[in-house]
Amino acid sequence: MRELTIQEACTAPASFMYIWADEDKFLKYIKPKHAAVIRQKKAHQNKLLLLSAEKYGKTVKEYTDAIRSAFVAAYGMTPANALIVLAQGGSVAGKNWEQGVYGVGAVLSFAGHSNITVDEKSGYIYKGSANITDFQKTVYNKANGDVVAWQYFAVDNGITYMSQYNKTTKKYHAQSFSTADGWYSAKTGNAIDSASSSDIWGSIIMALEKFVNWILSIFGSGKETINAENTLPSQSADGFVSQAGVGEAGGILLALAAGGALLFGMKGKKGAKSHTRK
């Protein structure tokens, strides 16, 4: 078994986002059932880093400082602020992420994997004639005032494929794919970093195989209860999207307590911007 190095953890900083889910500035303002899920995942993310830090003679703070810096470099904001943006229904995307332009720059298959294709109307991912889309991994977003299935994913032979919706053309294209070794452009096959492969929710899913291998390297295949499902952030499972993308108002948001106002320590200032710097 082998624990994570700091450098490995920093390749997928979004996977550890909940470490910055502060009790007083975030968790107490969201519904208890969502807070409980995020709190558990936070504990598991911290445990992964604690075991790794002990293995390599580092401190957890050295790990979290490095991951936080990698997160800011990738997404242009701190993990704490990203959580607030996501809870308010906003999007967090890598600074170098290219959404793709349908037409000249768009493709419907994946470089080096021509047998895996995307249906431009539905976004579903096919291997030959077989639909291999994993609908439980779907990421939702807003497009022209409506909630749409923004990204679809499929896993085949340890490779994760992603299709993505184009808001202008209302069609889908092949966006990127990933293995346990890294992330790649669907169009060119060139290596890209995790934040360039997708927005934050998609990049977490694209890092899934890598994350699973990390957990296995630390705990092996025994009875350890920590796994990707109860450790990785998830848009749908953690409450950031209502009823698989369809809320009462057709919006994406974390269901909030306190009358629906996201206060984050700024009582009486509804709509005020957060200044969280943790």
Give the DSSP H or E segment for 192. Answer: strand 191-192
DSSP count for the chain of H helices, then E strands: 7, 10
Interatomic CA distance for residues 148 and 244, integer angstroms:
10
What is the edge-to-edge ordering of all strands in the sheet holding 146-156? 139-143, 146-156, 159-166, 171-179, 182-185, 191-192
Tell me what pLDDT residue 98 has. 63
Asked if residues 82 and 200 have their Cβ atoms less than 8 Å apart, the reply is yes
Give the DSSP H or E segment for 63. Answer: helix 60-75
Interatomic CA distance for residues 258 and 204, integer angstroms:
29
Give the total residue count for the chain.
278
For tokens 């409506």, the residue is 146
- Would you call 129 exposed, middle or buried from its count of C-beta atoms within 10 A (0-12, 13-18, 19+)? exposed
Mean pLDDT by runs of 10 across the 278 residues of the chain is 81 95 90 92 94 91 97 94 87 72 70 96 97 94 81 94 90 91 89 79 89 82 78 90 51 50 44 38
Phi-psi label, residue 243: left if phi above 0, alpha if psi -120 to 50, beta otherwise: left
What is the reported pTM? 0.83
Give Cβ neighbours of residue 97 (< 8 Å, ≥ 6 apart).
Answer: 195, 196, 197, 198, 199
Amino acid at 122: S
Interatomic CA distance for residues 223 and 255, integer angstroms:
34
Interatomic CA distance for residues 264 and 18, integer angstroms:
16
For tokens 């349908």, the residue is 102
Tell me what pLDDT residue 103 has. 44
